[in-house]
Chains A and B, each alone.
Chain A
């Protein structure tokens, strides 16, 4: 099936919430332990909101629903997020 896109498309919506670009951060999948840039997740945009799945095991890593006046973000499928920051 190729009815999915990828985490690159989450950048604008996540950018409404976070000061750093979360799509370039490395997330670890709760289900299988695979680590990948959030940009590399498989994103299914046709659900009510966007569902990002692990490219290795297909578990749901992140869900994002944008309402008219609020955003719901469910990241229970991500154990950790590793964000590159400028060095001291």
Chain B
């Protein structure tokens, strides 16, 4: 544990020094194992937030009120503590900044495939790794992020997203507030709907690669909407996490 950074009132980024980290693709995760003194051990999966070229590995952990692991990681853990990790793992929900979203890289496309990222709450974490990796690799694939959050105080990486968007190199961010929006918000308060996906996403003809990450209900709803507005189901990659016992 090299450093800790509060992202919101309930989410914290854990910065880790991992000896011999082999590097990772954005979207991959690590399994974190905690073992108590009596030998009881438990494991949770967390998405990696940092880009592969970063020297340190970063995880952003959302504290769950009734969680077994997240309160420890977000409140108890201090700089210098060791953590047991396994990873990087997962080879499907990944975007390769060196080869678009096609890991086989069989054909080099003339223009980079546009990417649509749709995040529900802390589902933004692996998508942030993609945004960071894109910038670090100098990849010019146009990115659009649609980020659904409860209210402005729940936004993860808000300042960084604003800065990256202002850099003007092809990242656009649209926030969708489910409970309360700041004054001047361009999108009506509520859940993501087809109109938002159409106006803030890519036209179907652009054939974007799509990554959706969030709680199960969110992912199901967004994936259904994307297919309904005409996106190719094969271009949509999803990652779900549950309220208890699972990822994040």
B242 touches A11 (CB 8 A): no
With a cutoff of 8 Å between Cβ atoms, the chain B residues found around residue A49 in the complex are none
B241 touches A11 (CB 8 A): no
**A81 is an interface residue with CB less than 8 A from chain B:** no
**A32 is an interface residue with CB less than 8 A from chain B:** no
Pick the residue among B92, B215, B240 that contacts A21 (CB under 8 A). Answer: B92
Interface size band for A: 20 to 34
**A73 is an interface residue with CB less than 8 A from chain B:** no
Bound complex: CA A46 to CA B246 (Å): 10
**B202 is an interface residue with CB less than 8 A from chain A:** no
* A36 to B: closest C-beta gap in Å: 10
A71-88 at interface with B (beta carbon < 8 Å):
84, 87
Q: Known pairs A15-B89, A40-B238; list 15 more (Cβ under 8 Å).
A: A2-B217, A4-B242, A5-B240, A6-B239, A8-B239, A9-B45, A12-B89, A23-B90, A24-B90, A24-B92, A37-B92, A40-B92, A45-B245, A46-B245, A84-B103
Interface residues of B (CB under 8 A from A): 29, 31, 43, 45, 86-87, 89-93, 103-104, 215-217, 220, 237-242, 245-247
Interface residues of A (CB under 8 A from B): 2-9, 11-12, 15, 21, 23-24, 37-40, 45-46, 84, 87
